[in-house]
Amino acid sequence: MGMLRALTVCFAAGLAAHATTLEKLSLNDMANKATEVVRAKVGTCSAAYRGRLIYTTCQLNVTEFWKGADRKAVTVSVPGGKVGAQSQNFAGAPALLPGKEHIFFLWTGPSGMTQLLGLSQGLLGLEQLPNGQWMALRVPGSARMLDASGRAVRDDGVDVPLIDIRRTVLLRSGK
Amino acid sequence: MKLRALAVLLLATGAAQGYYHFLQYAQRDGRLTGLPQRFNLDALTARTVPFFISRGPDKQAPTDSLTSLVSQIELAARQWSDVDTSELRLQFGGFTDAGAQAGDAPGIDIVFEEVPPGLIAVAGPTVTGPARVGDGFVPVRRSMMILPKDMSNLPSHAEATFLTLVHEFGHTIGLQHSMTSSAMATQLTRTQSKGNALSADDVAGVSILYPTRAFRSNLGSIKGRVAEGGSGRPLASVVAISASGFAVGALTGPDGTYLIEGLPPARYIVYAHPLPPAQGGESTPANLRLPLDRNGDTIEPGSAFELLFFPGVRQHNDATQIPVGAGAVIDDVNFQVRSRDPLRLYNVLAYSFPGQLAVRPAYVNVNGTRNFFVATGIGLLDGEQPASDLRAAIVGGATGVSSVESYSPGFLRFNLVYSDDSGVGPRHLVVSTPTGVYVQPRAFLLATQQPPRIEAISVGDGGTLVLSGTGLSPQSRIFFDGAAALIRSADADAGTVTVEPPPGPSGHRAIVTAINPDGQNSLFLQNDAPPATFLEAPTTFGISISPSRLPAGSESVVEINGTNTGFVEGRISVGFGTSEITVRRVWVLSETRLLVQVRVAPQASLSPVTVSVRSGLRTFSAPGAFAAGSSQPSRLEITSTSTNASTGIVSGPAGGTVVLLVGGASGSAPPKITVGDIDAAVSTLAPSIYSVQLPAELPTGPALLRVQTADAESLPLAVQVEGPTPRILEITTLGGLNVDSQRPVQPGDSILLRLNSPVKATNPFEKIRATVTVAGVDHLAQVTDAGTVRFTLLPSVAAGAQPMTLRVNGRVSVPETLAVRY
C-alpha cells in the first residue's frame, strides 16, 4: 500500500469523453504552443462552411499583443454555427460573445485557419478585483482531458493574476 | 407527498421533454413541448444511419494503424446499434474523400481535421430548416464527428479512445451530456468501460429519440416539477437512482417540469440538483448546448440551489423509495428548492487500484485486499485533508464507507465495509459537508474478482490462437483491436481461451483484449503494454461488383465477387461511400461471394463511387467500381407488405405466399414472376397487387425475384426464403407448469416459450432481438441457451385469453393464445 501511496495517481484505463475531448495543456504548454496570444475584445462574427464543417469566425479587436506578429485585429474560428437554414451544434465549443474581452491563446495551422488552443483552455476570462488587479480565470473544465500519453487527467483550472500570465507568455515568446 | 402511479403507457406524450437532447421548444397541441434534433427513421434504409470515414489521420501512435482505428470506430457504433429498445442502427457506409461535399441524405461524417493543440474530438448534428412541430422533432440532416489529423496521442486500442468514440457517436445521433456518470456524462465522472460502454441512462437517451414499441411498455417513468416558490426552475437536473445501481436523469423544461423515462423496474430515490457552474471560456454550464425557446432565444438555467432528495429532504436516508414498475408513470415527484450560493461540492471522481496504477472506472474487488477507492473532486478537500465534517455514504447494497482519510495530494481514500449481501455492480456515492450535499451516481463498481490479464498468446490448431492468463473464462469476450474473436474453447482452471481470430490484413498487428462479464477488461492492468499478435492472410486479393450500375431511384441486388476474401457471415459490412447508395442487407454466399441489396436514392449523383467491404479487420476496396445510372421510369417497381420488420427484405417460407405491389403493371393478367429462376404461382388480389407463392423447392436463404410483363420488367430483388414459420409449441412457467385456461398466468410471472425449432443465431456474431407481443403489448424477451424464449408478463396486459406472437429478428411466429388472470 505504501507503494501505491507513493505513486502519482495516473489513469490507466479509460473514460468516456465529452462533446469536446481535450488534451490538458499547462500554462507553459499554451504559451509555447500558441502562435499568437492576445488580449482582445470579440468583434463581429460570421459562420461559413469549410469542407463539411461550419466554423464561426470572429474578429478580435486586440488591446494587447503578447505573442506573434503585432496586429490590431486577428480572427479566430470555432467549430459550429449557422449558415442559412443549416446549423451545426458542437456542445462544448465556446460561444464568443461580441463585446466580451478575453485572453486568447491562438493557434494557426498549416491551412492558415486560426483556432483557439484546446477550445475552452485557450480562452481565459478576465475579472478585475476590488484592488484593481486583473485576474485571468478559467475554472476547472468539465471537458474530458487527456495527457500527452492519452491518459485522463484533471483540469485544475486557471486563476492567476493577469500580470503573471503576461510575463509567462512574454518570456516564452522572446519579447 | 402523494404519488400517483399511472398504469398507462406514455405513447402519446411526444418525445423528450426536458431530457438532455439538443432541444428547441415550440407550442404543440396547446402546450410548450421540447422538440429534439434527431434522424428521421422513416427516411432511412432499414432504420440505419450510415457512417462514413474520411481518408484517415495523417499520423497515428507507433504500431497503430488505420485498420485498428476503423475497427474501433465500428465497435463504438455498434454499442448504440445494439440497444434493444432503440430502433436506430449505425452501419459502416464506406470511405469518403474528406474534401467532398456530403449529400443531403442522412449520414454521419467522421472527418480528420486540423485541430489545434489541446483539442481531441468534437461531434454534433447538422439540422436544416425549422422544426417539424407536427412530427415532434427537428430532423438531423447530417452529423459530424471531428477527430484530429494527428492521432499520435490517441492509440486506437486505448479505452480512452474507444469511449471517446462512443461518446461522440452519442452526440451525432442527438444526445447531449447527462449527469449520471454515463457514457454521455459531461464530467470525468463516468464509470463506463469497454465491456460496459452504455449505462441505463444512455440507453434511455437514445431510446427516447428512436423508441421501439417495447421501450415504454417495459420500462417506467417518473415525472414532476422543480420549482422555487411558484416558479418552475428550468434546466435543473433530476436523477433517479436505485440500490441496484441504475441511474437515469433528465433536465427540467422551461416550466420546471421533467420526465425521466427508461427506468428499469426497481425502487428509486430521486434527487434534484443544479447544473455545475459554467466553465471558463464556455457560455453554458455542463457544456450543454442550451435549448431554444419558441422565439429561438436560449433558455438559461437559474441560479444554484441546494440538492434535495424527494420529498424535499437533505439526507438520502430520509428519502422516499419510489417503486417503479414496467410501463408505469409515477407522477407528482415534485421539488421545492431554494436558491443558495454557488455549488461548492461537485465532480467527484473515483479511482481504484487493481494493479499498481489507478484505474477508472473504479472497480473494488470485494474479495480482494484493497477495500477502498480514492477520489478527488471540487470541495472534497481542505488542503490535503478531508473537508471539514465531510460525510460519505453509499446508496446500494450493504456497502458502507467506514472512514475517509487523506491519500496523496489532491486525493482522499474512502475505506469500504461490506457484508455478504453487498452484491456487485455500480454504487452511488453521497458526500456532504455543512455547505451542501452531492451525489455521484455510479461512482464506483463492486466486483468479485480482479480484471482479466492476458499473459501469453500462442498458436493453436487450425488457425486458432491460445490465450493464457488470469481471470479468463468461457464468458470472457476476446477482441482483436475492435473485432470480436470467435471463442472455440475455454478452460477457466487452466486460465486459457482458444479463439479463432477475426480475419485481418496480412502482417497486421492487432492488440488483444479480454473483457469479462462484469465489465472489467485486460486493459485495466495492461494498458501500457497490451498483448498483441500478428495476423496472417493471403497477400493477393480483390473484389469486383456486378452490375456496376443501378438506376437512380431503384432498389435491387448486386453481387460482389472476391479473390482470397474469406468472407464470413456476421462479419461483413459493405459501404458505397455515400448515403445516396445504401445497403439494406448483405448475404454471404461463399467465402468469395456476396449478395447485397442496395437502394439508390432518386437524387443520387451519377459519379462513380468506391465500394468497400469490411470483413473483420480487413477492408477490400474497389475505387470507382459502382455508379448510379439515370432513372428508368418505365421499369416495374416492386414493393411489398410481406417484409421482415427489421430489414425490410421481402420474406416468407418456401411454399408460403408474399404480397407484392407492382408499380407499372397493367392489364388484367398477372405478370410473370419468378423466384430463384422458378415460375411462381401468382394470383391477383387487386389491380397491381398480387399474391405470390414462393416455390416450395426453394432452399432457405436469398433468392432473386423478378417480375415481367409484356411491356416491362423489374430489376431483380432479393427475397429471403425462410425456414418454417416459428410456431409456439409449449407455454410454461419457469417451474415447468403448462400455461392454459386452467392455469393462467398473471402480470409479473416469468414465462417460457418453446418453439418448433430452437431460437438460434444464424452466425456467432448475430445479435438476437426477441419480442413477445401479448394483446398488442411488446415484451422484451431473452433467448435461453436451450433456444427457448423467456419473458415477464407486463401489468398492462388485461385478463382473458390474449393473442400472443413472438418476433425474433423481424420474423413473426404463428399467433397463439395466452391465458391471463388477475
Please write the tens of the pLDDT for every residue from B429-467.
999 998 889 999 999 999 999 999 999 999 999 999 999
> How far apart are alpha carbons B454 and B706 in whole angstroms?
53
**Model ipTM?**
0.75
pLDDT confidence of residue A117: 87
Residues of A in contact with B192 (CB under 8 A): 15-16
The predicted model gives B258-281 an average pLDDT of 86
- Do A30 and B118 make contact, defined as CB atoms within 8 angstroms? yes
Give tens-digit pLDDT for B670-681.
Answer: 899 999 999 999
Of the candidates A14, A107, A120, the beta carbon closest to that of B281 is on A120
- Do B281 and A107 make contact, defined as CB atoms within 8 angstroms? no
- In A6-94, the DSSP E strands lie at 21-23, 36-50, 53-67, 73-79, 81-83, 86-88
Mean pLDDT estimate for chain B: 90
pLDDT confidence of residue B2: 46
The predicted model gives B721-746 an average pLDDT of 94
- For A110, name the nearest residue in chain B, comparing CA atoms only: B114
Do residues B449 and B426 lie in contact, with contact meaning Cβ atoms separated by under 8 Å?
Answer: no
More confident residue, A37 or B396: A37
The yes-or-no verdict on residue A148 having pLDDT over 60 is no
Q: CB neighbours (10 Å) of residue B740? A: 13
More confident residue, B5 or B321: B321
Name the DSSP class of B504: -
Name residue B350's beta-bridge partners. Answer: B375
pLDDT confidence of residue B628: 96
Q: Report CA-CA distances (Å) from B647 to B48, B88, B262, B541, B634.
A: 10, 12, 25, 30, 27
- For B141, name the nearest residue in chain A, comparing CA atoms only: A86
Of the candidates B162, B279, B410, the beta carbon closest to that of A142 is on B279
Interface membership of B119 toward A (CB under 8 Å): yes
Phi-psi bin for B423: left (phi > 0), alpha (psi -120 to 50), beta?
left
Which of A134-143, B117-126, B315-324: highest mean pLDDT? B315-324
Helix H or strand E encompassing B375: strand B372-378
- Do A17 and B284 make contact, defined as CB atoms within 8 angstroms? no
Distance from CA of B722 to the nearest CA of A (A): 41
Taking Cα atoms as reference points, which of B183, B142, B161 lies closest to residue B50? Answer: B142
Residues of B in contact with A11 (CB under 8 A): 351, 357-360
Residues of B in contact with A122 (CB under 8 A): 116, 118, 281
The yes-or-no verdict on residue B164 having pLDDT over 60 is yes
Interface membership of A52 toward B (CB under 8 Å): yes
How many Cβ pairs within 8 Å bridge chains A and B?
Answer: 274
The yes-or-no verdict on residue A3 having pLDDT over 60 is no
Taking Cα atoms as reference points, which of B486, B498, B494 lies closest to residue B458? Answer: B498
Interface membership of A17 toward B (CB under 8 Å): yes
CA atoms within 13 A on the CB side of B771: 23
The predicted model gives B734-757 an average pLDDT of 95
- For B179, name the nearest residue in chain A, comparing CA atoms only: A142
Burial of B190 (0-12, 13-18, 19+ CB in 10 A): buried
Residue B636: which residues within 8 A CB-CB, separation 6 or more? Answer: B662, B663, B664, B665, B671, B707, B708, B709, B712, B713, B714
- For A22, name the nearest residue in chain B, comparing CA atoms only: B119
- Do A86 and B128 make contact, defined as CB atoms within 8 angstroms? yes
- Residue B298: which pLDDT band, with cuts at 50, 70 and 90? confident
- Do B117 and A118 make contact, defined as CB atoms within 8 angstroms? yes
- Mean pLDDT lowest for which of A150-154, B359-363, B369-373, B709-713? A150-154
The yes-or-no verdict on residue B619 having pLDDT over 80 is yes
For A41, the grid coordinates are 475584445
Which SS3 state, helix, strand or coil, does residue B579 take? coil
From the CA atom positions of chain B, what is the Rg in Å?
28
Give tens-digit pLDDT for A123-135.
Answer: 888 888 888 888 8
Interface membership of B525 toward A (CB under 8 Å): yes
Interface membership of A76 toward B (CB under 8 Å): no
pLDDT confidence of residue A22: 57
The yes-or-no verdict on residue B475 having pLDDT over 70 is yes
The yes-or-no verdict on residue B18 having pLDDT over 50 is no
Q: State the amino acid at position B668 in one-letter form.
A: S
- Do A91 and B289 make contact, defined as CB atoms within 8 angstroms? yes
- Do B283 and A157 make contact, defined as CB atoms within 8 angstroms? no
- Mean pLDDT lowest for which of A67-71, B29-33, B263-267, B519-523? B29-33
More confident residue, A108 or B284: A108
Question: In which residue are the cell numbers 461535399 written?
Answer: B101
Interface membership of A18 toward B (CB under 8 Å): yes
Residues 97-116 of B with CB under 8 A from A: 98-99, 101-102, 109, 111, 113-116
Before B311, cis peptide (omega within 30)? yes
Of the candidates A7, A139, A150, the beta carbon closest to that of B280 is on A139
For B284, the grid coordinates are 453554458
Distance of CA B300 to the CA centre of its chain: 30
Do residues B373 and B362 lie in contact, with contact meaning Cβ atoms separated by under 8 Å?
Answer: yes
| Residue positions counted in chain B | 822
More confident residue, B753 or B100: B753
Do residues B279 and B271 lie in contact, with contact meaning Cβ atoms separated by under 8 Å?
Answer: no
- Mean pLDDT lowest for which of A94-108, B123-137, B334-348, B611-625? B123-137
- Do B289 and A12 make contact, defined as CB atoms within 8 angstroms? no
Interface membership of B22 toward A (CB under 8 Å): yes
- Do A52 and B102 make contact, defined as CB atoms within 8 angstroms? yes
Interface membership of A13 toward B (CB under 8 Å): yes
Of the candidates B120, B124, B185, the beta carbon closest to that of A21 is on B120
More confident residue, B619 or B536: B619
For B751, the grid coordinates are 414465462
Q: What is the pTM of this model?
A: 0.90
User: What angle do the packed helices B159-172 and B200-209 form, to 10 degrees?
Assistant: 30
Interface membership of A139 toward B (CB under 8 Å): yes
Distance from CA of B66 to the nearest CA of A (A): 18
For B168, the grid coordinates are 461522440
> How far apart are alpha carbons B571 and B482 in whole angstroms?
12
Residues of A in contact with B522 (CB under 8 A): none
Residues 268-287 of B with CB under 8 A from A: 276-277, 279-284, 286-287
- Do B117 and A119 make contact, defined as CB atoms within 8 angstroms? no
Q: State the amino acid at position B300 in one-letter form.
A: E
The predicted model gives B81-86 an average pLDDT of 96
Interface membership of B626 toward A (CB under 8 Å): no
- Do B276 and A120 make contact, defined as CB atoms within 8 angstroms? no
- Do B126 and A87 make contact, defined as CB atoms within 8 angstroms? yes
Do residues B652 and B660 lie in contact, with contact meaning Cβ atoms separated by under 8 Å?
Answer: no
- Do B183 and A53 make contact, defined as CB atoms within 8 angstroms? no
Which SS3 state, helix, strand or coil, does residue A168 take? helix
The yes-or-no verdict on residue B531 having pLDDT over 70 is yes
Give tens-digit pLDDT for B553-597.
Answer: 999 999 999 999 999 988 999 999 999 999 999 999 999 999 999
Taking Cα atoms as reference points, which of A74, A67, A71 lies closest to residue A175? Answer: A67
Residues of A in contact with B182 (CB under 8 A): 16
Distance from CA of A96 to the nearest CA of B (A): 8
Taking Cα atoms as reference points, which of B654, B661, B690, B689 lies closest to residue B675? Answer: B654
- Residue B110: which pLDDT band, with cuts at 50, 70 and 90? very high
The yes-or-no verdict on residue B12 having pLDDT over 80 is no
What proportion of chain A, given as a percentage, has pLDDT over 70? 71
- Do B166 and A16 make contact, defined as CB atoms within 8 angstroms? yes
Distance from CA of A94 to the nearest CA of B (A): 5
Pair type for strands B750-755 and B728-733 = antiparallel
- Do B153 and A87 make contact, defined as CB atoms within 8 angstroms? no
> How far apart are alpha carbons B102 and B556 in whole angstroms?
24
The predicted model gives B362-389 an average pLDDT of 90
Which of B296-310, B415-429, B774-788: highest mean pLDDT? B774-788
Residues of B in contact with A120 (CB under 8 A): 279-282
> How far apart are alpha carbons B56 and B66 in whole angstroms?
7
Distance from CA of A38 to the nearest CA of B (A): 15
The yes-or-no verdict on residue A150 having pLDDT over 60 is no
Interface membership of B138 toward A (CB under 8 Å): no
Interface membership of A28 toward B (CB under 8 Å): no
Helix H or strand E encompassing B488: strand B486-491
- Do B111 and A53 make contact, defined as CB atoms within 8 angstroms? yes
- For A103, name the nearest residue in chain B, comparing CA atoms only: B281
What proportion of chain B, given as a percentage, has pLDDT over 90? 67
From the CA atom positions of chain A, what is the Rg in Å?
17
The yes-or-no verdict on residue A5 having pLDDT over 50 is no
- Residue B159: which pLDDT band, with cuts at 50, 70 and 90? confident
